Structure 1
Amino acid sequence: MRVGIAGAGMAGLSCAGGLAAAGHAPVLFDKGRGPGGRMSTRRVEVGGRTLTFDHGAQYMTARDPAFVAQVAAWEAQGVVARWPAAGPDAWVGTPGMSAPVRALAAEHDVRWTTRVEALRLDANGWTLDGAETEPFDAVVIALPAEQAAPLLAPHYPAFATTAAASRTLPCWTAMAVFAEPLAGVPDVVKDAGPIGWAARDGAKPGRAGMESWVIQAPPDWSQEHLEETPDTIAPTLLALFAQHLGVNLPHPVHLAAHRWRFARSRPPADAPGALWDGDGRLGICGDWLLAPRVEAAWLSGRRLASLMAS
C-alpha cells in the first residue's frame, strides 16, 4: 500500500518504519519545519555560542522489549545516551532530544511545513488536502487527539468521538542561561509546587556545558495561565524557581518561554493503543491511545503498523 501519514512525530515515524519493513510505501506530512514535535530542540545564540534546549520532552524510558531494542540501536548510532540524574532508566537524545526523531525521519519520505487540512475519500483512494493531490491506498492520523478529531469526524465518527474524549494537558516551559553555575542546586528539581520540573539542560550528555536550565510548570498551573504571553511567563517561572530554591538567582543572560498547548496526553484506562479500519483503510496512532510517554508513542505506531500489515 501507498500510505499517507499525517504527523511525523515519534508515533507517525514509528508507524512508517513498521510499514516500510512490511513492504509498504509511507509518505509523511508534518506542519513543523523539521523533526522533533514534542521532542524538539530549541536553538539560540548566546554570547556568540549556539545553545540548545530540550524544551519539550525531557527524557524517555525504555521498558517494553521492542522499544529497548530500538533504544539500543539508537545508542549504537550515538543519538541517545543514559541520563542518570533523571532516573536509572532515563535516556536522552544526543546532542538534543530531537536526535532519535531525526534519525527515524532520515529513513523516510517526509514533507515538512505541510499541514493536512482535511481528508477526502473517493474511488481512487484517500487524498490529504493541503498535502498533495495524488491519492493514497490508506491513511494514518498520527496527531494529538484535539487535532485528529476534526480530520476523523466526516469519515469515522466513532474514531472522532474517541479522540474528542481525550484531552491533552498544556505545559509552559521557560528556558534560562546564566553566566555562572548555580552552586548547590541539583541537576533535577521536580514536583515543587508550581515547578513541575526543572533541569540543568547543559549537564545532559552531549550538551555544550553552559549553565542552561529548562523550567516547566505543571498542567494545572499551565492551564490557568494558558493565554498569557511568553514575556510574562518566563520571568514568572524563573521567580517561582528561585522561591523554591530559597535563593536570589543571578540575572540570566538569556530568558524565554514556550507554550505547549498539547503537551501531556491523558489516555483512558481502556486505551486501545492504536485503531485501524481495514475496510476503509484508515488508522490512528499516538501516545494518547496508550500512555503519556515517548515509549508509548513509538509502541502505538508499531502496533498500528502491525494491524495494517496483518
Structure 2
Amino acid sequence: MKIAVVGAGIAGLSCAEVLQAQGHVVEVFDKGRGAGGRMATRRVASAAGEIAFDHGAQYFTARDPAFAAMVERWRSEDVVAHWPSAGDDAWVGTPGMNAVVKAMAQRFDVHWNSRVETIRRVGAGWALDPLSDATFDAVVVAIPAEQAAVLLEAPDATMATAARACSSAPCWTAMVAFHQRVAIAADIVKQSGIIGWAARNSAKPGRGGPEAWVIQGSPQWSRDHLEDAQSDVVDALLAALAAEAIDPLPEPILRIGHRWRYARVAAGDAGALWNDAARIGAVGDWLLAPRVESAWLSGRKLAERIGAAHA
C-alpha cells in the first residue's frame, strides 16, 4: 500500500520503518521544521558560542527487549549514551536528545513544514489537505492525542473519541545559560517546590559549551500559569533554581522559555489503533504509557498489525 504517516516523532518513524520493511511505500509528513518533537533539542547562538538545550524529554529507558536491541544499535552508531546521573538505565541522545529522531528520519524523505489540517476521503483512498493532490491507501496519525482527535474526527469518530479521552499535562520549561558553574552539587533537581525537573544540560554525555540548565515546572504549576508571559515564567523558574544553590546564581547570559501544552500524557492501554476497513490508524505514547520507549513500541505494534492484515 501507499501509506501516509502524519507526525515524524519516534512513534510515527518507528511505524514507518516497519511498514517500509514490509514493502509498503511510506511518506512521512510533519508540521515542524526538523526532527525532534517532544525529544527536541534547541540550539541557540550566543556570545559564548552555540548553546544546546534538551528542552523536551530529558532521557529515556529501555526495558522492552525489542527496544533495548534498538537502543544498542543506536549506541553502536554513537546516537545514544548512558547518563548515570539520571539512573542506571537512563539513556540520552548524543549530541542532543533529537539525535535519535534525526537518525530515524534519515531513512525517509520527510515532508517538513507540512501541517495536515484534514484527512479527506477520495474514492477508496485518502487525501491530506491542504498539502497536495496525492492520495494514499492508508493513513497513520502519529501526533499528540489532543491534536490527533481533530484529525481523526472525520475519518473515524470512534478513534477521535479515544484520543479526546487521553489528556496531557502541560509543562513550562526555562532554558538558561551562565558563564560560571551554578553552585548546585548534583546535576539534577527533582520535584522541589515548583520545579518538576531541572538538569545541568551541559553535563550530559556528548555535550559541551557553557553551563546550561533546563528547568521544567511541575505539572500543576505549569497548568496554573499556562497563559503567563514567558518572561514571568522564566523569572519564577530561575528563582526556584536559585533556592537550590548554596551561592547566588551567576547572571544569565541566555534565558528562554518554552511552553509545552501537551507534555506528559495520561495514557490508555490500547497500544495502537487500526481500522482496517477504512485503513486509518493512530499511534503514540498516549496509547501505551508516557515514555519514549512506549511511543516506539506503539508505532511498531501498529505496523505489525497492518502487516498481518495485508501480508
Deviation at 1:245, TM superposition (A): 3.6
What whole-Å deviation, never above 9, does each CA across 1:35-91 have from its counterpart, x for those lacking one?
A: 000111101112241111000000010000010011011111111000000000000
Q: Does 2:161 match 1:152?
A: no
**Which structure 2 residues correspond to residues 43-82 of structure 1 after superposition, within 5 A?**
43-82=43-82
C-alpha change, 1:177 and 1:48, in structure 2 (3 Å) is closer
Which residues in structure 2 correspond to 1:63-142 (within 5 Å)?
A: 63-142=63-142
Aligned to 2:300: 302
Instruction: Write the distance in 2 (CA, Å) between the matches of 1:48 and 1:188.
Output: 23
Percent identity, aligned pairs only, is 54
Residue 257 (structure 2) aligns with: 257
CA 1:153–1:85 in structure 2 vs 1: closer, same or farther (change >3 Å)? same
Q: Deviations over 1:259-303 (max 9, x none)?
A: 0111111113xx101011111111000000000000000000000
- Partner of 2:28 in structure 1? 28
Residue pair 2:184, 2:244 contacting (<8 A) in 1 also: no
Query: Equivalents in 2 of 1:131, 1:211: separation in Å?
Result: 42
Give the SS at the match of 1:49: coil
Q: Which residue of 2 aligns with 1:293?
A: 291
Deviation at 1:155, TM superposition (A): 2.1
2:207 corresponding residue in structure 1:
207
Distance 1:182 1:168 in 2: 32
Q: Is the 8 A contact 1:140 1:284 kept in 2?
A: yes
In the alignment, is the contact (CA less than 8 A) between 2:120 and 2:154 conserved in 1?
no
The aligned length equals 308
TM-score by length of 1: 0.97
Q: Secondary structure of 2:50's match?
A: strand
For residues 202-281 of structure 1, the aligned pairs below 5 Å read 202-245=202-245, 247-268=247-268, 271-281=269-279
Q: Is the 8 A contact 1:82 1:91 kept in 2?
A: yes
| Contact 1:6/1:116 (<8 A) preserved | yes
The whole-number CA distance in structure 2 between the counterparts of 1:139 and 1:262 is: 22
The CA RMSD measured in Å over matched residues stands at 1.1
Runs of at least 5 residues in structure 2 that lack an aligned partner in the other structure: none
3-state SS of paired residue (2:31): coil
- Counterpart in 2 of 1:192? 192
CA contact 1:120–1:129 (8 Å) conserved in 2: yes
1:180-202, CA deviations, whole angstroms, 9 ceiling, x for partnerless residues? 11234210111112111010100
2:14 counterpart SS class: helix
